[in-house]
Structure 1
Amino acid sequence: MTGHDSVERIFAALPPEPGRAFARSWWGRAWLKALEDTALDGRQVKAGRSHARAGAVGAVSVRPGRITALVRDRDGTAYRSDVTVQQFSAAEWDRLLDLVAERAGHIAALLDHDIPAHLAEDALAAGVELLPGIGDLEPECGCEAWDHCTHTVALCHQVARLLDEDPFVLLLMRGRGERELLDDVQARSASHAPEQAVETPPGVSALDAFAAGTGPRALPDPPPVDAPGRPLALAADTPPPPGLDIEALEFLAADAAARARRLLAEALAPGHERTPVAAGLTVSQDAVRLAAARPPGRVAARLAAGSGRDGAALTRAVRAWECGGPAALAVLEEEWAPEPEALARAGAQLAAAWEEGPAPRLRATRNRWTVVGTGAQLRYGPDGRWWPYRREGGHWLPAGPCAHDPATALAELLTEHHA
């Protein structure tokens, strides 16, 4: 216990979402993996997932060490369901917060409500298990089940949706609220900052000051950057010159402001160090990125034409982009032949996953594996990850984020197909 038990957040009940894959973020998927590894009955996990998908979970209370909700059965009976999570000790919080405060990238990620994988890896190396593992999600339910039941599994799946939107939910379970945590990180960052240089006395010549090596004075604290500013409206009484699309220009200005805000927030984080710039996007990729910002209809049509796609193809490309950026877009639009060793390894993983029953029949065409008799498909990416696809309206469309093994991606697809 850390002495912070009074912190509590209440999240309203989420509406049913029959077609939604639970846990789009990697930390949300890690949460569900801990549930699946802890629960002894796989049938209860599947039933609880369907229960959550149907909207049976009420408002969720999250506080240090515990999540709670009322979960309804199909007959209307409601049970109080709790899942307990181990809180960090004071020493574990010290190690984690010192780790975050020492790395500008970690601070910027938390400010952007993100938990990058390298933060969890660094924390684990420091002896702090940020993410739950097998046996860490302990169930308590009014139905008096001794293991995870339909109700506690449904609660965990609903919490996975909350974690996707706000990873601070996980940190609250571990014992600290968002405001307290960020204030502590900021204080520790300030203590790690270098001492200010000695001010040059007035009247000293520039040559003497340079020889003294005092350096520049410390800058004042930067202003907060909470949101991108609103670009100027470019419409005027005078008609624009021929070829100038005012609506498109205003949209590009708004996009530039949003990107500048993200870069500035990272640059202003205490202890920021310049990181290498990622390789630029192609014209086609950047058109999809812009289209994902939901531009006005005429601008979207120009983006489609400029990227060599029609409107429907651009919509499919945006859906892929939202699942995983350039990597997901390449899997949507490119077909290639994997190495035989990769296919053999994938086949073994699938066979092991269905060792207690007949495995689904797959028809493999290069890097695309279609489940015979269903509208489900797996696609293998050049980076070794598997992407779930579903056939809708005569086209194969991305069905969610990728998985590192084909069995995980396929199990989620088939569960949704039969739900």
Structure 2
Amino acid sequence: MARYWDDHTVYSQPSAEELRRKAKESASTAKKKGKNYSPIMPKSRRGEICTSWWGQAWCRNLESYADYSSRLDRGKGYVRSGTVIDLQIHDGKVLAKVQGRRRSPYNVEIRIGRLSEENCQKIIDKCSTRIESLEKLVSGEFPEELKEVFTSEGGLFPTVREISFGCSCPDWALMCKHVAAVMYGIGVRFDENPFYFFSLRGIDVDRFIGVALENRVEKMLQNAECKSDRIIDEDISSLFGVI
């Protein structure tokens, strides 16, 4: 007797070439309708997907989610095939379109929890300790000496519990390959602009840098009032034998 749940339908996996062809058609159709897509195009089809240390760190953090290991490899192949035809990062969420075996791309939404006020202040304090780091932040770079800001507990990288996602595809898996492809695509976006990290965690980067600079100046003024052991109190002329 047949049962409703006894569905053993096996879907054929499209080739990378077919996915690229369909992705190109979907992008062309969207353009004719006046929609401007922002696709993900990794620079390499082998090795690391991301080029910056922070993008690579994002991918390694993603791959530490052991529960999703079986899906991540397929997602990596998808993103390399150019199937993520649109990816937009907003305050606390990512909206993307991923080309699959169907003609129309699937809609993917990823939501990431806001960074707590306490953890945000801890990160600001770390950034305020070195003036060189602040100078790089102001110029639009993220210095490697602040790597802990990303990877430490309570840092910018979200934990599994802080992420929720969904996809319009028929795959019932908690993380389908389309979601996995978008997760890797986020890393590629971070290559382009590391400050997307702040947007994703609900942080206004201009205010963040402003507060960090203000704290740095305040600390410098406090230290200016403290007497240093390196200050020479003796008369310099007598010290060096100058008459």
The TM-score, its normalising length taken from structure 2, stands at 0.64
SS in 2 for 1:58: strand
Task: Show the counterpart of 1:181.
Answer: 208
Matches within 5 A, 1:151-170: 151-170=178-197
Corresponding residue to 1:95 among 122, 132, 136: 122
Corresponding residue to 2:156 among 130, 139, 142: 130
Task: Show the counterpart of 2:176.
Answer: 149
Matches within 5 A, 1:193-204: 193-194=220-221
Matches within 5 A, 1:312-331: none
Deviation at 1:111, TM superposition (A): 2.9
Whether the 8 Å CA contact 1:123–1:130 is kept in 2: the answer is yes
Tell me, yes or no, if structure 1 residue 140 matches structure 2 residue 160. no
The whole-number CA distance in structure 2 between the counterparts of 1:60 and 1:76 is 18
SS in 2 for 1:82: strand
Whether the 8 Å CA contact 2:79–2:182 is kept in 1: the answer is yes
Deviation at 1:161, TM superposition (A): 0.9
* RMSD (CA atoms): 3.3
Residue ranges of structure 1 left out of the alignment (5+ in a row): 1-9, 198-210, 212-419
Decide whether aligned partners of structure 1 residues 120 and 15 sit closer, same or farther in structure 2, where only a CA change above 3 A counts: closer
Decide whether aligned partners of structure 1 residues 122 and 149 sit closer, same or farther in structure 2, where only a CA change above 3 A counts: closer
- Number of equivalent positions: 189
Whether the 8 Å CA contact 1:98–1:185 is kept in 2: the answer is yes
Deviation at 1:96, TM superposition (A): 1.4
Residue ranges of structure 2 left out of the alignment (5+ in a row): 1-35, 225-232, 234-243
Deviation at 1:184, TM superposition (A): 2.8
Matches within 5 A, 1:362-381: none
- Which of structures 1 and 2 has the larger relative contact order (alpha carbons within 8 angstroms, sep 6+)? 2
Deviation at 1:92, TM superposition (A): 1.7
Provide Cα deviations, 1:299-327, integer angstroms capped at 9, x if missing partner.
xxxxxxxxxxxxxxxxxxxxxxxxxxxxx
Decide whether aligned partners of structure 1 residues 39 and 103 sit closer, same or farther in structure 2, where only a CA change above 3 A counts: same
Deviation at 1:114, TM superposition (A): 3.7
Task: Show the counterpart of 1:76.
Answer: 103
Whether the 8 Å CA contact 1:34–1:137 is kept in 2: the answer is no
Provide Cα deviations, 1:230-277, integer angstroms capped at 9, x if missing partner.
xxxxxxxxxxxxxxxxxxxxxxxxxxxxxxxxxxxxxxxxxxxxxxxx
Deviation at 1:155, TM superposition (A): 0.7
The whole-number CA distance in structure 2 between the counterparts of 1:175 and 1:122 is 15
Whether the 8 Å CA contact 1:27–1:131 is kept in 2: the answer is no
Whether the 8 Å CA contact 1:16–1:54 is kept in 2: the answer is no
The whole-number CA distance in structure 2 between the counterparts of 1:41 and 1:181 is 33
Deviation at 1:80, TM superposition (A): 1.4
SS in 2 for 1:59: strand
Task: Show the counterpart of 1:50.
Answer: 77
Provide Cα deviations, 1:86-105, integer angstroms capped at 9, x if missing partner.
32112222221122123213
